[in-house]
């Protein structure tokens, strides 16, 4: 893999680049550490986040023939151009589990598109290929604003057996029912982690977004709208967020009662084998540098900030088509291929460079996660190596 490190972004606002570099390095280290804890040998190492795939399908990504001239940028430069694509649908949860938890809470859902052989200049190639990946979740905002918050989340997961509740501990100070001892402990934690008043406001935002995710039922991965949440460049002088929205209702539309553990996978299999070809509109919100990006470029540097559709409407620029039927979705070969794929927002044309704190963090974290899981040797090979080491030292 080669990477073009030159930044072309006039929109980013880094208060303390050295601190961010340290935060990124620590998050990368924790990503690998958490993977090794979750998947001790001989378990197969899965993705650091989004390990559970509902399935992978093939499709096409076609630029709309009537795309407005001012939107003909980067991947969207040529009206009517069609690309082949792979799509992977997933649950965001760090561990593979039932699609709905035993308290009835829902999780974040993912859709990743790999648009193949896009030509042009890419920031990071995909095993030599020039592909453009679009990674999305079913919420227009990301629950963690920046690299400081995400690192603290990873530390909590590491220290508290993959449970995230401790991330919200500072909010307990507003709970009159906590004991003096608990209050002292939380205050000590706030001091140790250098959590400011501003940070506490963001923890409140994270709590609210996670509450919304847990209350959002999804019956079919092909039936909901997905969002980039984080921003990207759109050429050299504009920025974009993107979204994919189904063009029509896709059955099945209800969660089975009682829910089965893998109802999203079952719905995906049903949908790609019983409906006509499925379509998503791919849409962009585009802003220019003459817009007010707010204090400290909040709308770029904080991935939890919403770009209100009333001010920045989504504009259709392309269509994703998933041909049907795709019977091979259930085969071992398909599943193995799905595991071998590595998506990252940094598989991108230079015109669509990922920007903002969360995206800068994602660059080396996705690389560490995919390299760690894909370099894992077969269990048989691991045993042979240990045997020869035992014999010959
Ligand atoms: C706007 C924010 C984000 C969105 C929309 C997003 C979305 C996604 C999606 C859809 C996938 C699954 C890709 C696949 O199917 O292979 C994924 C994977 C992953 N995400 Fe994110 N994500 C976001 C932020 C983050 C952050 C902040 C981190 C950690 C720093 C992170 C770490 C990962 C990792 C480690 C993987 C698995 C990479 C691999 O092993 O191939 N994500 N993400």
The predicted-structure confidence for 325-367, as pLDDT tens digits, reads as follows 998 999 999 999 999 999 999 999 999 999 999 999 999 999 9
Q: What is the CATH number of the domain that holds 87?
A: 2.40.180.10
**Ligand 1 centroid to residue 112 C-alpha, Å:** 9
3-state secondary structure of 203: helix
Q: Whose CA is closest to atom 19 on ligand 1?
A: 49
Q: Whose CA is closest to atom 4 on ligand 1?
A: 136
3-state secondary structure of 88: strand
- Give the domain extent around 356: 17-392
Which atom of ligand 1 is least distant from the CA of 372? 40
Q: What angle do CA 169, 306, 304 make, to 5 degrees?
A: 30
Q: What angle do CA 111, 329, 136 make, to 5 degrees?
A: 5
Residue 6 lies in a domain: no
Q: 72-118: per-residue pLDDT in tens? A: 999 999 999 999 999 999 999 999 999 999 899 999 999 999 999 99
How far apart are alpha carbons 321 and 59 in whole angstroms? 5
Residue 10 lies in a domain: no
Q: 294-327: per-residue pLDDT in tens? A: 656 788 999 999 999 999 999 999 999 999 999 8
Whether 362 is in the pocket of ligand 1, judged by its Cβ within 6 Å, is yes
3-state secondary structure of 335: helix
Whether 343 is in the pocket of ligand 1, judged by its Cβ within 6 Å, is yes
The answer to whether the CB of 307 falls within 8 A of the CB of 287 is yes
Residue 192 lies in a domain: yes
Residue 300 lies in a domain: yes
Predicted TM-score (pTM) of the model is: 0.95
**Ligand 1 centroid to residue 391 C-alpha, Å:** 42
Q: Report pLDDT for 288.
A: 87
Least confident range of 10-24, 55-69, 153-167, 241-255? 10-24
Contacts (Cβ under 8 Å, ≥6 apart) of 283? 242, 243, 244, 245, 314, 315, 316, 317
Q: Please name the residue that has the structure tokens 């995400």.
A: 150
Residue 8 lies in a domain: no
**Ligand 1 centroid to residue 163 C-alpha, Å:** 18
Whether 141 is in the pocket of ligand 1, judged by its Cβ within 6 Å, is no
Whether 148 is in the pocket of ligand 1, judged by its Cβ within 6 Å, is no
Q: Report the share of the chain in percent with pLDDT over 70.
A: 93
Whether 186 is in the pocket of ligand 1, judged by its Cβ within 6 Å, is no
Alpha carbon of residue 22 to chain centroid: 22
3-state secondary structure of 245: strand
Longest dimension (CA), the chain: 69
Q: Whose CA is closest to atom 28 on ligand 1?
A: 362
Is cis: bond before 258, omega within 30 of 0? yes
Token readout for 126 is 């995909």
Residue 9 lies in a domain: no
Reply yes or no on whether the pLDDT at 181 is more than 90. yes
**Number of domains making up the chain:** 1
Residue 276 lies in a domain: yes
Residue 86 lies in a domain: yes
Q: Residue 287 is inside which H or E element, if any?
A: strand 278-288
């Amino acid at each position: 893999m080669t990477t073009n490190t030159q930044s072309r972004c006039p929109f980013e606002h880094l208060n303390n680049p050295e601190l961010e570099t340290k935060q990124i390095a620590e998050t990368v280290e924790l990503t690998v550490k958490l993977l090794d804890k979750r998947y001790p040998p001989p378990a197969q190492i899965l993705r650091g986040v989004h390990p559970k795939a509902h399935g992978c399908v093939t499709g096409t990504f076609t630029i709309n023939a009537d795309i407005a001239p001012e939107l003909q940028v980067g991947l969207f430069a040529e009206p009517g151009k069609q690309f082949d694509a792979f799509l992977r649908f997933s649950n965001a949860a760090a561990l593979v589990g039932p699609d709905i938890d035993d308290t009835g809470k829902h999780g974040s859902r993912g859709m990743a598109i790999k648009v193949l052989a896009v030509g042009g200049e890419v920031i990071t190639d995909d095993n030599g290929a020039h592909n453009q990946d679009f990674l999305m979740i079913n919420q227009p905002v990301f629950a963690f604003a920046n690299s400081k918050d995400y690192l603290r989340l990873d530390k909590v997961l590491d220290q508290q057996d993959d449970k995230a509740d401790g991330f919200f501990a500072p909010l307990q100070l507003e709970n009159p029912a906590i004991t003096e001892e608990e209050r002292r402990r939380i205050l000590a934690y706030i001091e140790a982690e250098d959590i400011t008043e501003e940070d506490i406001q963001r923890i409140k935002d994270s709590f609210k977004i996670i509450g919304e995710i847990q209350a959002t039922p999804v019956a079919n991965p092909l039936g909901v709208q997905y969002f980039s949440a984080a921003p990207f460049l759109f050429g050299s002088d504009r920025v974009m967020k993107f979204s994919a929205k189904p063009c029509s209702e896709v059955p099945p539309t209800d969660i089975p009662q009682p829910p089965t553990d893998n109802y999203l996978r079952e719905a995906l299999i049903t949908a790609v084998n019983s409906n006509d070809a499925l379509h998503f509109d791919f849409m962009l919100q585009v802003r220019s540098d003459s817009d007010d990006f707010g204090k400290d470029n909040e709308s770029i540097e904080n991935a939890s900030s919403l770009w209100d559709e009333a001010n920045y409407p989504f504009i259709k620029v392309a269509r994703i088509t998933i041909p049907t039927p795709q019977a091979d979705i259930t085969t071992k070969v398909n599943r193995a291929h799905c595991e071998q794929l590595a998506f990252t927002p940094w598989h991108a044309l230079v015109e669509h460079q990922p920007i903002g704190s969360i995206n800068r963090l994602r660059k080396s974290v996705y690389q560490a996660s995919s390299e760690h899981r894909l370099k894992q040797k077969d269990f048989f090979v691991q045993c042979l190596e240990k045997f020869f080491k035992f014999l010959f030292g």
